[in-house]
Structure 1
Amino acid sequence: MKREIQNSLGAKYNTDETKLKKPPVIIANLSLGKTEEDLTLALKNQNDDIQNGGDAIVRILKKDKSGKSNYAVVECNGLFLRLAQLKKVNIK
């Protein structure tokens, strides 16, 4: 598609491909004191769905409004629907 657009528009125009974003999932009620890297490793090591062919990376980790726990925004590749259906994930 990019090549066709370039051929149609000519050398005057530059074309770039947009990268698809991974769908985000929010995980709430996380204990304080963990880092983004700790949570990413915990998700991968403690959840079979993520170990078996999925990818999940914690991108944002913030305190919730009460300040008593954290929430994480996790980018998922290939696991979005499965994680969205789960009632819980393991993170220790």
Structure 2
Amino acid sequence: GNNPNQVGLAQKLAALEGSERAFFLGSGMGATVLAHLAVLRPGDHLLASEWIYGGTRRLFNEEFGKLGIDVTYVNPTVARNWRRHLRKNT
């Protein structure tokens, strides 16, 4: 944002981490959206745990489909489930 305190804090964190930029967001869901949309593109496939936070599941179900991102949910306790559902576009 354009809040001077937020900008200053982000610059300091970026310097500490040795990165170009850092972001501070008002919510965990904001961070979830930003992180996923930074790497996912239309046509991509995302594997997610069946046990994710309900708000995140709702985001994936209701919004990612509109963006052309396919989501598959797997039981996270069985490693072969993850491998079995991998696709070339995951």
Q: Same fold (TM over 0.5)?
A: no
TM-score, normalized by length of structure 1? 0.21
State which structure, 1 or 2, has the greater radius of gyration over its C-alpha atoms.
1
Q: Which has the higher contact order (CA 8 A, sep 6+)?
A: 1
Question: Which structure has greater strand proportion?
Answer: 1
Question: Which structure has greater helix proportion?
Answer: 2
